[in-house]
Structure 1
Amino acid sequence: MPGRAGAGLVVIDVQPGLLKAYPPRRARRVVESAAGALDLLAPLGLPTLILELDPDRLGPTHGRVLGAAPGARVVAKARYDATADPESFQALEDLDRPWLVLLGVETHVCVLQTAVGLLGRGRTVAFLDDAVFSRTPRDQRVGRELLVRAGAVPLTTEVLLFALLGGRDHPAFSQVLPRLKARVSRPDDGEAPIDPGGPYDGEG
């Protein structure tokens, strides 16, 4: 498990051109889950990298997600596996943390291939099981199974949060607590779908 200050976050391809292919409620869930994870973890000050697949065609990262990670570095990539693209690979290396924790889309494509690439280079990799998504439940399930078989550790946002906090004595605990209470009390009604906008080019 990652300990205090031991993790970097990698947000993968939460872009309108990819979300366009999702059912509206699922697209909303992608955005809210990714942004919610980033918001909850923000007081810990984890280094965060936002990756964007071909943003000229697929658009920039959704504004709700960008807004939840104002200090994050944003890097474009041309390959599904971010370790196969020199600029994004260097950005991953620059995170310089023992654990790299992935979230975003799609579980069975860019998340999976990036995780495998990192694991093949000897990195310790986890993914947020409540903040990685595919367009279909089947691809989601298979992608998750392949991630685990490859050696990536499944976490949830709260598992990661409390592992990093370690206890109430963490200096960020007082900032985390109200965010956690708001998260617990917020209903997940599945309504008010977002309009991701932009073209869809069948990648992610």
Structure 2
Amino acid sequence: MVASAPLRRLSESICDLQEKFRPAIHEYPRVIATAQKMLRASQILDIPVFATTQNRARLGETCSELRLDVAGGFATKIHADKTMFSMCTPEIMSFFAQSASKPAVIITGIEAHICVTQTTLDLLRHGHKVYVLADGVSSCNKEEVPVALARLRAEGATVTTSESFLYECMGDAGIAEFKEIAKLVKETKESTSQTLEALCKI
């Protein structure tokens, strides 16, 4: 029996990972590392990427190491600026509305208790399944994060980790993409371990 392809009704959302937040956010480099891993995975698995900045004129561009919308980098379907806290801008929701079925959404970014929370709640209200990656979100005050994740779990979001999600997404080691994802997991093993230790102590 031929293994089926991974679920394609997905999108990846990168919430406000901007340079000016770097000094303020708890374990910010770890959040960036998970976002980088998920960007590479999205390319392998053909998952469209959406990104936002919060008030770009004041808070700056998305961190350059994510290499969004640059030659040789990762292309986004939409890379929107916003003043609202939720990523669910009219531009992004209009794009989702064009889909024949509501895509599940993977979220990484900041801050867990503000923009990530409001994005997740809005997406749930619109009928989307939402995966919040616990090793891919943070806040200025680290104590806010577990409270936010507990609330989102109670509201119906799936709180998981990047590696768990990737294997759930694939579902079968027989798919064509498995070797590339397994290689990515192996290459990022040390970084993933360090990130889990830093961000997922419960």
> TM-score when scaled to structure 2?
0.81
* Contact 2:15/2:116 (8 A) holds in 1: yes
Q: Which residue of 2 aligns with 1:6?
A: 9
What is residue 169 of structure 1 aligned with on the other side?
A: 174
2:96 touches 2:103 (CA, 8 Å); kept in 1?
Answer: no
Letter in 2 for 1:56: A
Q: Separation in 2 of the partners of 1:54 and 1:92? A: 23
Query: Which runs of 5 or more structure 2 residues have no equivalent in the other structure?
Result: 1-5, 196-202
Aligned to 2:92: 88
Whether the aligned pair in 2 keeps the contact of 1:108 and 1:143 (CA below 8 Å) is yes
Residue matched to 2:18: 15
Q: Which has the higher contact order (CA 8 A, sep 6+)?
A: 1
**Counterpart for residue 200 of structure 1:** none
Given that residues 37 and 131 in structure 1 are in contact (C-alpha distance below 8 angstroms), is that contact kept between their aligned partners in structure 2? Answer: no
Q: Distance in 1 between matches of 2:116 and 2:162?
A: 16
| Structure 1 position 27, deviation (Å) | 2.1
Find 2:110's aligned residue among 105, 111, 114: 105
1:14-67 CA-partner distances (Å, limit 9, x unpaired): 0012223235xx122221222123224431111111111111111111111235
Unaligned runs of 5+ in 1: 191-204
- How many residues in Structure 1 have an aligned counterpart in Structure 2? 185
| Equivalence for 2:76 | 72
| Equivalent residue in structure 2 for 1:143, among 116, 137, 148 | 148
Per mean C-alpha deviation after superposition, the further-off stretch among 157-166 and 176-185 is: 176-185
Q: State whether residues 14 and 52 of structure 2, in contact with CA within 8 Å, keep that contact through their aligned partners in structure 1.
A: yes
Query: Which TM-score applies when normalising by structure 1?
Result: 0.80
Superposed displacement of residue 104, structure 1: 0.6
Which SS does the other structure have where 2:135 is aligned?
Answer: strand
Match of 2:60 in 1: 59
What letter is aligned with 1:90? Answer: S
Range 37-46 or range 125-134, more displaced? 37-46
